[in-house]
Amino acid sequence: MVKLPLGAMSDHLSIERRGSVAILTMDDGKVNALSTSLIKELSQAISTAEADPTTTAVVLVGREGKFSAGFDLGVMQSGDFAAIVNLVTDGGELVHQLYSCSVPVIAACDGHALAAGALILLGCDVRIGTEGACKIGLNEAAIGMVLPRWAITIAQDRLARTHLQRCLATARLTDARGAMEAGFIDRVVPADELLSTALAEAEQMSNIQRDAYAGTIEIVRAEALNAMRDQISHDRASVA
């Protein structure tokens, strides 16, 4: 039996166990940028949760006011094409892993979720947001970037069709209630109820048999997951 490790994994990610639920908390003290190391640590934690038969759900939490502002700008603005592609592809593999995870993943989004941060939300099963000022969405087009194909694929699978053009082509950012209309968020609660609501969702999902859950999402999400895998592999090969 694989046991989920407890306590801090690094300066940026900590793991806590409450009953059968694993809580992964991202906090780099800044904007929770998705660096290569944080992506790797998140991926390892999710894999460990899947391998542990006593884990029934994962809750992914950001720091207060900032779920994640996206990929590490130090890499994204470096001018190193291979490093940029590799980082973005690492992120694609993480989003794919979340979307194909054999246990439910609940996101507790307290604040901003931009670019890759919003893509992480799309990979989670249930997304809880908070009331108040924040920005959520895919702002790549506004900063001169084209979303990778895998990102468009999951956006098409999860966002409301009536919001796709505004969310993708015109880089529309909204607060949590607007994000709920678009499909980034499923429910909005007061900030002081965020974690308790996410844990309640996780507890409710603990009644679902893991094999049945995994088999169902494998069927329901097969087309999107297969397309994402091929698109991620293509991007990785472009800088091999």
C-alpha angle with apex 189: 163 to 25, nearest 5 degrees?
90
Query: What domains can you pick out in the chain, each with its CATH number?
Result: 7-237 (3.90.226.10)
* pLDDT by residue, tens only, the chain of 240 residues: 345 455 545 778 999 999 999 999 999 999 999 999 999 999 999 999 999 999 999 999 999 899 999 999 999 999 999 999 999 999 999 999 999 999 999 999 999 999 999 999 999 999 999 998 899 999 999 999 999 999 999 999 999 999 999 999 999 999 999 999 999 999 999 999 999 999 999 999 988 999 999 999 999 999 999 999 999 999 999 998
- Neighbouring CB atoms inside 10 A of 139's CB total 18
Orientation of helix 222-237 relative to helix 81-99, angle to 10°: 160
- Asked if residues 147 and 168 have their Cβ atoms less than 8 Å apart, the reply is yes
Q: Which helix (H) or strand (E) holds 82?
A: helix 81-99
- Asked if residues 174 and 138 have their Cβ atoms less than 8 Å apart, the reply is no
State the pLDDT at residue 6: 52
Per DSSP, what are the bridge partners of residue 137?
Answer: 114
- Neighbouring CB atoms inside 10 A of 88's CB total 24
Which tokens hold the place of 51? 């391998």
- Asked if residues 120 and 68 have their Cβ atoms less than 8 Å apart, the reply is yes
State the pLDDT at residue 1: 38
- Cβ neighbors of 85 (< 8 A, separation 6 or more) are 235, 236, 238, 239
The residue type found at 2 is V
